Amino acid sequence: MILWVAFAIAAAAVIAAVARPMLATRVSSVDPQQADLAIYRDQLAEIDADLDRGLINPLEAESARVELARRLLKTTDASRQTGKASENDQDAATPSGPITPTQIAYATAAVIPLLTLAIYLNVGSPNLPGMPLSARMQTDPGKASVEQLIAKVEAQLRETPQDGRGWDAIAPVYLRIRRFKDAANAFSQAIRLEGETPKRLRGFAEATVMANNGIVAEPAKKAYARILSLQPGDSESRFWLALADEQEGKITAAGAAYRSLLAQAPDDAPWKRIVESRLKAMEGDSGDASNKVSQPQTEKQLSQPKLPGPTQQDIAAAQKLSKADQKAFINSMVDRLAGKLKDDPQDFEGWLRLVRAYTVLGRKEDASKALATARKNVDNDTTKQARLDALANELGLGT
């Protein structure tokens, strides 16, 4: 309501200001000729002043006056020529033409507010209150959204970056909403300020692995090693370290680690199946170079959401199936990819994935065929050729 009153006042002020001269009964106007004469008179006075100050000498002053006189004459000449017209103009100063200024004033008073309002109602948002950030931060925590709460904590942490408990509180939240880099940073701040605990180290390591697309890199490895020194025998840490070994190509070490994990595993351990499948894949064709680099499929696909691959539902479904069914399921997925590539042979990343998938499944002939087709499709692109060569070397497919 106040807003509309303010609008009305603003519009009224404008109308009053512009309408006033139009409603006036008498307007003092400056005749153009008179204005010119006034200026020349001022200039003449200025010449005298300059002469007084000694800026110009009498001779110069004289020639300047002559110059002015010449201009003055020209003006009066011109006015005499247009004299007739200007006399008419004088008469016209009283109301003239079909529309009087008074009528224009009334029209203005109507058009200005209506036009403004018409435009404003189209583009404005009169019902939307202002929402300064500080006011939004003070809303009831019970009603606030997660996003709002995070923003609040973040703002606080910017003020007090040494508040370890703040970092401790926000770190798992980051992890849950998949802001892995922020999570890793928050965990490491909490560790720095509040000390190492297995829980914080685990969070940090997990966040780092997820941020690195499933690769267990050096910082994560160190963190898991620390957990093991604090909680000897922690099976989760051992699994990730084994996976790190596998990713680095230390097959024997990885195999031994998996096996000892399995030996000590309780029957209901949820990760048991994963370890078994890793081990199986490694043993299935041990000595084959292709195993060196293969990552656990689920891990890899989970962490690379950008590539068009199996959806999360696919993976969840795959995990529920029996082993034979799993294999069939994976095969069907790979065939789906192959079908897609037939339609769109320019999808280079797709070809790379297909070749890799065939190799992992042990379908070496198909892999070689896919590789050859991929080569044909990229014949001119040297960087892509080089990537294919690298892949072939890596998987031991020859050329």
Subset of residues 88 to 117 that bind other proteins, contact rule: CB under 8 A? 89, 92-93, 96-97, 101, 104, 108, 112, 115-116
* Window 118 to 137, contacts with other proteins (CB under 8 A): 119-120, 123-126, 128-134, 136
Q: Which two tokens stand for residue 156?
A: 């606080």
By beta-carbon proximity to other proteins, the closer residue of 121 and 324 is: 121
Q: Please, what is the minimum distance in Å from the beta carbon of residue 247 to other proteins?
A: 22
By beta-carbon proximity to other proteins, the closer residue of 126 and 339 is: 126
* Window 32 to 71, contacts with other proteins (CB under 8 A): 32, 35-36, 38-40, 42-43, 46-47, 50, 53-57, 59-61, 63-64, 67-68, 70-71
Binding mask of the shown chain, residues 148 to 177, with x at each position contacting other proteins by CB under 8 A: x-xx---x--x--x----------------
* Window 340 to 359, contacts with other proteins (CB under 8 A): none
Q: Please, what is the minimum distance in Å from the beta carbon of residue 163 to other proteins?
A: 15
Q: Please, what is the minimum distance in Å from the beta carbon of residue 173 to other proteins?
A: 14
Q: Please, what is the minimum distance in Å from the beta carbon of residue 90 to other proteins?
A: 9
By beta-carbon proximity to other proteins, the closer residue of 50 and 285 is: 50
CA–CA distance, 51 with 39 (Å, rounded to integer): 18
Tokens 């002043």 -> residue = 49
332 lines the binding site for other proteins (CB under 8 A): no
Query: In Å, what is the CA distance from 22 to each residue of 9, 89, 157, 213?
Result: 20, 18, 62, 74
* Window 224 to 253, contacts with other proteins (CB under 8 A): none
14 lines the binding site for other proteins (CB under 8 A): yes
78 lines the binding site for other proteins (CB under 8 A): yes
Burial label, 326 (beta-carbon count in 10 A; 0-12, 13-18, 19+): middle
Q: Which one of residues 147, 218, 268, 379 is an interface residue with other proteins (CB under 8 A)?
A: 147
Number of residues this chain uses to bind other proteins (CB under 8 A): 79
* Window 19 to 38, contacts with other proteins (CB under 8 A): 19-22, 24, 27, 29-32, 35-36, 38
Q: Please, what is the minimum distance in Å from the beta carbon of residue 59 to other proteins?
A: 6
- The runs of H, that is alpha helices, within the chain are 2-23, 32-53, 58-81, 83-92, 101-123, 133-137, 146-159, 164-176, 180-194, 198-211, 218-230, 235-247, 251-264, 272-284, 297-303, 312-320, 323-343, 348-361, 364-377, 382-395
* Window 250 to 279, contacts with other proteins (CB under 8 A): none
Q: Please, what is the minimum distance in Å from the beta carbon of residue 89 to other proteins?
A: 5
End-to-end CA distance of the chain: 79
By beta-carbon proximity to other proteins, the closer residue of 146 and 230 is: 146
By beta-carbon proximity to other proteins, the closer residue of 12 and 328 is: 12
Q: Which two tokens stand for residue 223?
A: 């963190």
By beta-carbon proximity to other proteins, the closer residue of 126 and 142 is: 126
Q: Is-contact 228 196, C-beta < 8 A? A: no
CA–CA distance, 214 with 180 (Å, rounded to integer): 11
Q: Tell me the CB-side half-sphere exposure of residue 257, using CA atoms within 13 A.
A: 20
By beta-carbon proximity to other proteins, the closer residue of 126 and 270 is: 126
By beta-carbon proximity to other proteins, the closer residue of 116 and 235 is: 116
Q: Which two tokens stand for residue 275?
A: 């370890």
Burial label, 317 (beta-carbon count in 10 A; 0-12, 13-18, 19+): middle
CA–CA distance, 244 with 175 (Å, rounded to integer): 21
Q: Is-contact 22 105, C-beta < 8 A? A: yes
Q: Where does this chain touch other proteins (CB under 8 A) — which range of 11-19, 190-198, 238-246, 381-389?
A: 11-19
Q: Is-contact 200 168, C-beta < 8 A? A: yes
Q: Please, what is the minimum distance in Å from the beta carbon of residue 91 to other proteins?
A: 10
